[in-house]
Amino acid sequence: MRQALHWLAVIWLLAVLVLWQSSNQPFFRVVMTAQRQQLSGSVAAFFLGVSLICALWSGWLHWHHPAPKA
């Protein structure tokens, strides 16, 4: 469970980076309308929010429920 949360947070962060990179390209900036830019911005904000929640959750689990020492 703990490992799954960690990897989920990593995957979300990578997805946010990819979205941010693709929306920053000049070609996409020219092609996109203002409405689509707003949409991609809200999608990126959603991804960022979910990744932040995942990071906080896994951090909280790690802090309050440390893995048993083997």
The domain of 58 spans: 2-64
Residue 69 lies in a domain: no
pLDDT of residue 38 exceeding 70: no
Instruction: State how many domains the chain has.
Output: 1
CB 58 within 8 A of CB 12: no
Q: What is the mean pLDDT of residues 35-61?
A: 73
Residue 70 lies in a domain: no
Q: What is the mean pLDDT of residues 10-18?
A: 76
Backbone angles phi, psi at 42, to 5 degrees: -70, -35
- Distance, in Å, from the CA atom of 24 to the CA atom of 21, rounded to the nearest integer, reads 5
Residue 37 structure tokens:
């830019």
Say whether pTM exceeds 0.85.
no
